[in-house]
Amino acid sequence: MATTDRYPRQATTLALAHALSAAERGLAVIPLSRTKLPALRSPHRDAPEPTGPPCHGECGRLGHGVYDASTDPARIRELFAAAPWATGYGIACGLPPHHLIGVDLDTKSDTDSTAALRELALRHLFTIPPTIVVLTPSGGRHLWLTGPPDVVVPNSAGRLAPGIDIRGAGGYLVGPGSRTAHGVYATAPGTAHLTPAPCPRSLLRLLLPPPRSSRPAPGSTAGGAHGRGLVQFVLAAHEGQRNTRLFWAACRAYEDGIGPELTEDLVDAAVRTGLTAREARGTITSAARMTTHRPDP
């Protein structure tokens, strides 16, 4: 029993040490539990539904997730003292001086996220510069990049490509040295001494919300070049990728306001890859339903 009691204290002490080290580099941090969630629960969890904007710490109490993040050692110690069960720490994205952007390459999906990023890099002519890379217990990778101070990069899940999530303003990355229920996050060999590299401009443009497209002229592909790009993305699918690529393209089309207009082009492209029209329409309908009822990440 003593060993069981002692382990969380040791893990919390180690997490605090890593968090303080990150703060010295200008990275704002918060304590995380073994589930990778903020360790401190919201002080408003039992309060009636708010009628105004949600509290982001204006009440002065702890427990506002990423909005508690700080680089002040005294504040960080206060946060960890209030969460003695914490075994890791999160690094807030989008804050000065680094304006951190996290590119999360997932390994849990059927899509090769590394290959998807490489394909995007070739198509949009950018190269990921040497930067900090954090290895996740599941075999994924977090690439740390920095953005301009006047640009707000939103969080997203699968929007850039299947299996690639983006951590931007209001999000956080699990810091290296954090212990979770599935293992320990660690800096990839040869990258610990690096600083987060600037995000390539071509990639940065892809991370920003696209402008709403106007209705296309008769006879043209909906969304112009963007719509044609989504159709080409579906046409390039190999067996085993067809539904995944079609679903992703349909989600992007509905998010960009061209879903209904692009449906027939997407169905035609999917049929040419080997799906039936019925299968394609079912996948597009699922994408439309999810995009319509799910808030933006």
Residue 216 predicted with pLDDT over 60: no
Residue 178 has pLDDT above 50, yes or no: yes
Indicate the domain borders of the chain: 1-92, 93-209, 224-293
Phi, psi of 180 (to 5 degrees): -120, 180
Can you tell me the distance from the alpha carbon of 4 to that of 78, in angstroms, rounded to the nearest whole number?
24
Range name among 21-35, 117-131, 227-241 with the lowest pLDDT average: 227-241
Most confidently modeled range among 106-110, 137-141, 184-188, 218-222: 184-188
Instruction: Tell me how crowded residue 283 is: count the other CB atoms within 10 A of its CB.
Output: 23
| Predicted structure pTM score | 0.69
Measured between alpha carbons, how far is 73 from 23 in angstroms, rounded to an integer?
7
**pLDDT confidence of 213, banded at 50, 70, 90?**
very low
To the nearest whole percent, how much of the chain has pLDDT over 70? 87
Measured between alpha carbons, how far is 196 from 176 in angstroms, rounded to an integer?
14
Question: Which class is 93-209 in CATH?
Answer: alpha beta
Contact of 17 with 77, CB cutoff 8 Å: no
- pLDDT at position 211, please? 53
Give the model's confidence band at 283: pLDDT under 50 very low, under 70 low, under 90 confident, else very high.
Answer: confident
Which residues contact residue 76 at a Cβ distance below 8 angstroms, ignoring those fewer than 6 apart? Answer: 16, 19, 20, 23, 29, 70
User: Which tokens hold the place of 218?
Assistant: 């008769």
Token pair of 220 as six digits: 């043209």
